[in-house]
Structure 1
Amino acid sequence: MDRLFAHGSVNAAVSGEGPALFLFHSLLSDRASFASIEPELARSHRVVVPELPGFGGSQAAGGSLAEVADRMAEVVRDAAGGTDVTVLGNGYGGFVALQMAIRHPDIASQLILADCGAAFSEEGRQAFRNMAAAAKAKGLAAITDVAMRRLFAPDFQAGHPDLMRDRREAFLKTDPEVLQAACAQLAELDLRPELPKVKIPVLVLVGEHDEATPPPMSHELAALLPDARLKILTGCAHVPQLQAPKMFLDAIADFL
């Protein structure tokens, strides 16, 4: 069931009963990337899957990651219902969740950060600049192949044509200006000095073959957070909950 939160600015699907669990999607995907795991999680949690600001039916929240994080903090307070809160972010959703936890220390009781980090290498920063420039000059269709490669390894793409067709269609619905603004933010981001502020338990996950946010970023993130553990998801890339849903659920089961 879809509902509106944060004064009607953010659209989210809500299912299940129990402690609140928020799922924040990645930049090159949408909330449907959680469709394979949401029903299982809803057996024990009240699962809230928002469309992040600027995506789907949710209003944009300015150009900065801080503004997006503040908007999502409103959503969490609005939708949590007074229960303990876990926030799970994948990719860009992980950066939003981490920034939110830094800016609003009381917002969640624990975090699961899948395939993100605290700062990109110079090569990673340039990839975002290039992607934003190409999207602006030529449109999203021109960067769809690049976007899909950042999400899924070539052999996985070849073996799952129907899923890839769906993911391409979802990507092409992205607001180009929202994508460009997010790329610009990620190209400059460095949250490492602020990680000591995140005192809550954090589970850091990363796909073994993630090219968008390579495993060294997750190793660094887990090492710099005060209370974090790291798990490597064998054979996975940037969207492990879509690629290997059972492995993903098993990886987060004990933490939840």
Structure 2
Amino acid sequence: MDRRLASGTVNASQAGNGPPLVLLHSLLSDRASFDRIVPELSKSFRVVVPELPGFGESQAVGGGLAAVADRMAGAIDDCADGEDVIVLGNGYGGFVTLQMAIRHPNIATKLILADCGAAFPEAGREAFRNMAAASKAKGLSAITDVAMRRLFAPEFQQANPDLMRDRREAFLKTDLEVFRAACDALAELDLRPHLGQVKVPVLVVVGEHDEATPPPMSHEIAAGLPQARLKIIPGCAHVPQLQAPAAFLAAIGDFLAPTAAP
């Protein structure tokens, strides 16, 4: 079932019954990146998977990552229906989640930040500048191989040709202007001075072989957040929920439980 949120500007799917759990997708993917874990999560939660602004049927928003975070805060407030919300963000969705928690402290009672960070090292910033420039000059097809390499290790790509075909097609549907604006925002972002403002429990998870947002970035945010713990998922890269859904669910399961402590 789909819902329109934030005054109709955000399109989201919804499955299951129970307390709301919102999943925010990455920049190099779409909401289908959660398809392998939604069936299990929807046994215990009302799982809401929005399309981020500018993706799918959700309207784009100007104003950088802060504006995206504000738009998604409105969407989450709408879908909460008065209940406590847990938000899980992967990659770009994790950065949006963190920015949102800083700007809207009461938006969620728990956060899961999967394969993201508070700021990129210079090499990471340069990678976003290069992707933005290449996509502007030659289109998304010019950087599809780079994008897929940031999501999945070569061995995984070779072993899963059908999945990779689907992920490439999804990436090529990304709005070019939205992609470049996100790259520009991530190249300049530094949320480290604000980590202390996030008072809710946070689980930070990262794939052992994530090259897009390497594990040191997750170590940094886990150390900077007042109530955070870190889990590293062996053998995975930037989207562990696709690469190893069972391992990903096992990593977040205890934290999702009602009695979980930070």
TM-score (norm 1): 0.99
- Equivalent AA in structure 1 for residue 103 of structure 2: R
1:63–1:182 CA contact under 8 A, matched in 2: no
How far did residue 2 of structure 1 move? 0.8
Specify the alignment match of 1:217 in structure 2.
217
- What is the alpha-carbon distance in structure 1 between the residues aligned to residue 254 and residue 19 of structure 2? 15
Specify the alignment match of 1:162 in structure 2.
162
Specify the alignment match of 2:259 in structure 1.
none
- Deviation string for 1:169-226 (max 9, x for gaps)? 0000000000000000000000000000000000000000000000000000100000
1:6–1:74 CA contact under 8 A, matched in 2: yes
How far did residue 63 of structure 1 move? 4.0
- Deviation string for 1:50-107 (max 9, x for gaps)? 0000000000011400000000000010001111110000000000000000000000
- Equivalent AA in structure 2 for residue 193 of structure 1: P
- Equivalent AA in structure 2 for residue 6 of structure 1: A
5 Å-filtered alignment, 1:121-160, equals 121-160=121-160
- What is the alpha-carbon distance in structure 1 between the residues aligned to residue 2 and residue 105 of structure 2? 27
- What is the alpha-carbon distance in structure 2 between the residues aligned to residue 219 and residue 170 of structure 1? 30
- What is the alpha-carbon distance in structure 2 between the residues aligned to residue 80 and residue 245 of structure 1? 25
- What is the alpha-carbon distance in structure 2 between the residues aligned to residue 196 and residue 232 of structure 1? 22
Specify the alignment match of 2:260 in structure 1.
none
- What is the alpha-carbon distance in structure 1 between the residues aligned to residue 208 and residue 198 of structure 2? 25
Number of positions where the alignment pairs a residue of Structure 1 with one of Structure 2: 256
- What is the alpha-carbon distance in structure 2 between the residues aligned to residue 18 and residue 66 of structure 1? 29
1:63–1:178 CA contact under 8 A, matched in 2: no
Specify the alignment match of 2:190 in structure 1.
190
Specify the alignment match of 2:73 in structure 1.
73
5 Å-filtered alignment, 1:7-22, equals 7-22=7-22
- What is the alpha-carbon distance in structure 2 between the residues aligned to residue 63 and residue 148 of structure 1? 27
Q: Which runs of 5 or more residues in structure 2 are unaligned?
A: 257-262
Specify the alignment match of 2:91 in structure 1.
91
Specify the alignment match of 1:47 in structure 2.
47
Specify the alignment match of 1:236 in structure 2.
236
- What is the alpha-carbon distance in structure 1 between the residues aligned to residue 177 and residue 234 of structure 2? 34
TM-score (norm 2): 0.97
- What is the alpha-carbon distance in structure 2 between the residues aligned to residue 63 and residue 14 of structure 1? 28
Specify the alignment match of 2:245 in structure 1.
245
1:89–1:95 CA contact under 8 A, matched in 2: yes
How far did residue 123 of structure 1 move? 0.4
Specify the alignment match of 2:4 in structure 1.
4
SS of match in other structure, 1:177: helix
How far did residue 238 of structure 1 move? 0.1
Q: Which runs of 5 or more residues in structure 1 are unaligned?
A: none
How far did residue 113 of structure 1 move? 0.3
RMSD of aligned C-alpha atoms? 0.4
